[in-house]
Amino acid sequence: MKKRVGILISGRGSNMMALVEAAQAPDYPAEIAVVISSNPTAPGLAWAQQRGLPTVALHHKAYPSREAFDDAVHAELVKARVDLVALAGFMRIQSGAFVRRWAGRQLNIHPSLLPLFKGLHPHQQALDARVKLSGCTVHFVTEEMDSGPIVAQAAVPVLEGDTADTLSKRILVAEHKLYPHALALVARGQATAEGGGVTLGATEDPAAQLFSPQL
């Protein structure tokens, strides 16, 4: 049985789009149960609505506290019978109670090779550090931002003359491949959070190239 996924967005939701497209494949182990946006005017919300996906707009400013907003999000996820949560450009810091409710069942994607360059402006952080490789990471969400157990990563070269914008665009291409791959691993039970890390099932070729686990 396919796992039911709730996607949380705040903006254009390009990673949401990648997950939705991947879930259309008959053999994909997850289906999109609901798309929830913290911004009622988010372009990604309109995109999802146009494709007939169940959507919910919960404007965070309409709630008296972070906890009250998170309770509303949680209620919508439960209503949609969600098994897994995928953050896709969700620009809200979650309360500890919400994170604990979905521990081991909530994923996020961050545009760096964690644990490097956490938080805001990771592309500029990479450029300032003069690294030769950056990339993206899918991880389980924990109460410490960008610090949860890592499910999968993809490396992207940092080129001479790169700006934060050009590097961001190159990494985004990898994000759109990595996130559906990582979600599928979790949905199949091939990647599980255990003991502060992630246990991965057997892969066809452990000698991964730029994606780990290999696509």
Query: What pLDDT band is residue 113 in, cutting at 50, 70 and 90?
Result: very high
Q: Which residues share a beta bridge with 106?
A: 85
Residue-wise pLDDT for 8-27, tens only, equals 999 999 999 999 999 999 99
Q: Residue 195: its pLDDT value, please? A: 87
Q: Residue 204: its pLDDT value, please? A: 47
Q: Residue 12: its pLDDT value, please? A: 96
Rg (CA), the chain: 17
Q: Judge whether 33 and 80 are in contact, CB under 8 Å.
A: yes
Residue-wise pLDDT for 54-75, tens only, equals 999 999 999 999 999 999 999 9
Show the tokens assigned to 111: 């545009």
How far is the C-alpha of 41 from the C-alpha of 141, rounded, in Å?
26
Q: Residue 202: its pLDDT value, please? A: 66
Q: Which residue has the tokens 């246990």?
A: 199
Q: Which residues are catalytic?
A: 110
Q: Which residue has the tokens 């796992």?
A: 3
Q: Residue 201: its pLDDT value, please? A: 81
Average the pLDDT over 191-212 and give the result.
73
Q: Judge whether 198 and 141 are in contact, CB under 8 Å.
A: no
pTM to 2 decimals? Answer: 0.94
Show the tokens assigned to 75: 């209620």
Domains of the chain, first to last: 1-102 (3.40.50.170), 109-215 (3.40.50.170)
Position 215 pLDDT exceeds 70: no
